[in-house]
Amino acid sequence: MSLSSRTIVVVLCFLFVLAPCLTKATTDGVVQAGGCDSHMFNNGKHFRSCINLPVLDSFLHFSYVRETGVLDVAYRHTKIESSSWIAWGINPTSKGMKGAQTLLAYRNSTTGLMRAYTSSINGYSTMLQEGPLSFHVTQLSAEYLNGDMTIFATIVLPSNTTVVNHLWQDGPLKEGDRLGMHAMSGDHLKSMATLDLLSGQVTATKVANGNVLLVKRIHGIVNAVCWGILMPIGAMAARYMRTYQGLDPMWFYIHIGFQTTGYFVGLLGGLGTAIYMAKHTGMRSTPHTVIGLFLFALGFLQILALKARPDKDHKYRKYWNWYHHTMGYVVIVLSVYNIYKGLAILQPGSLWKIAYTVIISAIGLFAIVMEILQFNKRWGSLCFKKAEDLEADQSVSNV
């Protein structure tokens, strides 16, 4: 083989090796360009700048005139279901949700037409009701096409404005076209940034998101341990230890210790972190919140019931036992259910859910084993009494 032939073979091999990399780079560039700069709107609008926002599959197209403060904007959210709402806004006073002047849009579930409106967010418990903004907005419209939902608007900012705090969000559309609460974890807590209207540079905002996420994890861990582990163990101590005479009154103190620790630590850590989150992220009447407040109320009633506990020989003691035991089991069942609701909201990762499932399953398995072992002690006397009654009735009938 000649030298030229060898050179050609080497070059071909080199190109063969680099071909996948070159193809990938070219493809990525096309996808990026198609996602932002080369996107064409059906209404024929064109914008001088386009930004690929860091989270929630969103893009911001805009044209800005510094001297007049006129900002033509199109917020486009891709890969979104038609049964969702989207929002984009500017916060002229601070970084974050409170004080944001927002544009919202959703698709009417009955007519299929898009609706766009404005909403000024004055607090974290907002329902995103329609209202005027602190700046003038014209030509507000929206469209939904091929999984892309877009809001168009012309905003008049104070002249010579160069940098704004903006945020964007999406959430579910509920029955009756009510705007449901957006997710409270992951990218939904990162969808805010500082936008330079002249250069187009976006700087991610990290205000209280890290603290809120940490508080959420503390809230989940404290409540899972207190309500989902200590409470069931305390209940089992009262149910299974009391059948052994040598453990009386030890079982009572163990029961009281676990239940009071679970309640008061859950009250301070769980309710305290919930109040913090309500202050910084808002609180809605979600099932998780309602069940949590209901559990705190039931726990407080259980503590009050101890003050009204009759003596063992009192004729009303059995009724008190029925009430106390029933409320206790209701608290445990609701606690476990609400912990899984909280995990679904927090989305900390599958490992956390698996860990709690293993723990609560072990507790449940232990309870089943103890029920089997103590069946005769717990139910034997009742069965024996029924057998005696049947024999007595048989004797009477024979006579």
> Where do runs of H (alpha helix) occur along 241-316?
250-265, 272-281, 287-307
Q: What are phi and psi of 305, to 5 degrees?
A: -65, -30
Q: Which two tokens stand for residue 93?
A: 């006073």
Annotated binding site for heme b: 219, 255, 288, 324
Burial class of 216 by CB neighbour count within 10 A (0 to 12, 13 to 18, 19+) = buried
Q: Provide the CA 302 distance to its chain's centre, in angstroms.
A: 29
- In sequence order, the β-bridge partners of residue 171 are 85
Torsion of CA 294, 297, 299, 300, to 10 degrees: 180
Confirm if 136 and 155 have CB atoms less than 8 A apart.
yes
Contacts of 198 (CB under 8 A, 6+ apart): 64, 66, 162
What does DSSP assign to residue 376?
I
Binding-site residues, in ranges, read: 219, 255, 288, 324
Residue 92 near residue 155 (C-beta atoms within 8 A):
no
Strand partners, 144: 149
Distance CA 133, CA 130 (A): 10
Please count the CA atoms within 13 angstroms of the CA of 187 that sit on its side-chain side: 10
**Roughly what angle, to the nearest 10 degrees, separates helices 317-346 and 287-307?**
150
How many CB atoms lie under 10 A from the CB of residue 135? 16
- DSSP secondary structure string, 311-372? PTT-TTHHHHHHHHHHHHHHHHHHHHHHHHHHHHHH---HHHHHHHHHHHHHHHHHHHHHHH
Cα–Cα distance between 80 and 182 in angstroms, integer? 13
Cα–Cα–Cα angle for 252, 356, 372, rounded to 5 degrees = 50
- Identify the helix (H) or strand (E) that includes residue 108: none
